[in-house]
Structure 1
Amino acid sequence: MITLLGTVFFCVLITLLSYFIGLKLYRKYPKDWLNPLYTSSVLLIILLLVTHVNGDTYQEGSFIFNLLLQLAIVSLAVPLFKQWSLLKKHYKKICIGVICGTGLGLTAVSVMSYVFHLNEQLTASLIPRSVTLPIAITISSDLGGITTTTVFFVIVSALISLIIGPKLLKRAGIKSKSAKGLAMGTSAQMLGANRSLSWGEEEGAMGSVAMTTSALFLSISVPIIATVLNL
């Protein structure tokens, strides 16, 4: 019992320490690629290697974060409730934008799976890479994917979208506040919604709605996806 408590305390401690160091670094040097989500992950890996803590032990000791992540799924209903009037006003734009964005993501995974002959487990891990992390983990698990692989690709996908997205929107001449928010929320999840919020209230609201509705759309589509891809 004491050993278990010690393991939990140590794992929680190094996780929080990694995050606060990453957050402090980001505040001092506010660059997209220095987002605490990534820098803290790298630092955490280094600490685990230095302290000789294997992955299984860390997962057992950090179970509290898994519980909090599951609770975060429920909290995604909050932005939908707050932006209900916006949803009713722009429901056509939201539906078209989210369905097209999520659909293109699924198509890209299917094509990549076919071209590179990926096995079913890896394909299942890649399918939810474009939705917010709590939902992505659940979908990956339901489809028989590897959740750790899913986490990696969700983070990488969000980082690439966050760095390239704003520049691509600018070069494409897209000035619509709704379109910019929808694009960032669908492609970069929470990070994209936060970036949209820095542009303005409408962009932030649309980014938050896109992040939530894209996850909802993909969750509903899971049985169809599993049938089509034989997962």
Structure 2
Amino acid sequence: MIYLYSLLTIASFFLALQINKRLKSVLLNTFVLTVFILIGVLLLVNVPYEHYMAGNAPLNNLMTVSIVALALPLYEQLRQIATFWKSILFVTTFASITAMLTAGGLALWLGANPDIVATVMSKSVTMPIAMAISGHLGGIPAMASVGVVIAGVQGAVVGYVILRKLRLTSSEGIGIAVGATSHAIGTAALMEHDVKASTYSSIALVLCGIISSILAPLVFHLLYMVA
């Protein structure tokens, strides 16, 4: 009975998908609408968040499996990656290091404890990887997932709009920028505007996840060496 919350999540997503098809709103994309619908339903029927999370376990458990699924975009785009691999690798490496340094450095400057610094450093990679990085560094995986969602929603809502306002017209550039900062949530939202950009975004989110996993311990120790 409790796993009906998983069906609620799926139903909310499909309802949000239908609403988005009618609204075609950049701000109210499918992910944001799904969150709003779920919050509204849970508040209306007075369901505690803990009960919802327990009942949504089947979907939550798929997050770990999704790490393996991230290899698919890399396989599908091997030819394009082979052509531009130096540029893609440089940009994603730079973006990964910058995201970790700025998030961790700001937290450190504000007086955060090491566990908080370790938690916020992984905000720009997809949730399963972020939680693994945070846990490995001594952070709080559950809190890291919140940071990931916030970063993803920001990118999904305003990322594409900001890049277009900056007169960036390259689908490749837009995709890599969104994927490197807003991971899977931003990539899913980008698919509604530019399929080619979403392909490059998926490449960036995979590479940033791999690079961040490798470099996060080094960046974490570097921050405390400099401090």
User: What TM-score comes out, normalization by structure 2 length?
Assistant: 0.84
Check conservation: 2:184, 2:205, Cα contact below 8 A. yes
Alignment correspondent of 1:199? 194
2:215 matches 1:190? no
Cα distance, 1:14–1:124 mapped onto 2, change above 3 Å: same
Distance 2:6 2:99 in 1: 34
Cα offset, 1:105, TM superposition:
0.9
| Correspondent of 1:104 among 72, 76, 98 | 98
Distance 1:54 1:197 in 2: 33
Instruction: Pick 1 or 2: higher relative contact order, CA cutoff 8 A, min separation 6.
Output: 2
1:157-200 alpha-carbon deviations (Å, 9 max, x no partner) = 22323344334434444344432221122122234434268435
2:50 matches 1:56? yes
Write the letter of the residue equivalent to 2:39. Answer: I
Cα distance, 1:32–1:159 mapped onto 2, change above 3 Å: farther
Check conservation: 2:20, 2:30, Cα contact below 8 A. yes
Distance 1:197 1:17 in 2: 20
Cα offset, 1:130, TM superposition:
0.8
| Correspondent of 1:123 among 96, 117, 129 | 117
Matches within 5 A, 1:61-210: 61-194=55-188, 195=190, 198-199=193-194, 201=196, 203-210=197-204
Cα offset, 1:97, TM superposition:
0.8
| Correspondent of 1:7 among 2, 9, 21 | 2
Check conservation: 2:104, 2:120, Cα contact below 8 A. no
Check conservation: 2:13, 2:30, Cα contact below 8 A. yes
Q: Which structure has more helix as a fraction of its residues? A: 1
Write the letter of the residue equivalent to 2:194. Answer: W
Check conservation: 2:131, 2:141, Cα contact below 8 A. yes
Structure 2: tracts of 5 or more residues without a match: none
Alignment correspondent of 2:15? 21
Structure 1: tracts of 5 or more residues without a match: 1-5
Query: Aligned with 1:123: secondary structure?
Result: helix
Alignment correspondent of 2:216? 222
Check conservation: 1:123, 1:145, Cα contact below 8 A. yes
1:55-91 alpha-carbon deviations (Å, 9 max, x no partner) = 3322222211122111111000111111111111111
Check conservation: 1:33, 1:159, Cα contact below 8 A. no
Distance 1:162 1:56 in 2: 26
Cα offset, 1:217, TM superposition:
0.6
Instruction: Give the paired residue count.
Output: 223
Distance 1:143 1:55 in 2: 27
- 4+ aligned runs moved over 4 Å, structure 1: none
1:85-116 alpha-carbon deviations (Å, 9 max, x no partner) = 11111111111110111121112112311232
Write the letter of the residue equivalent to 1:111. Answer: G
- Greater Cα shift, 97-106 or 121-130: 121-130
Query: Percent identity at matched positions?
Result: 24
- Greater Cα shift, 80-89 or 160-169: 160-169
Query: Aligned with 1:206: secondary structure?
Result: helix
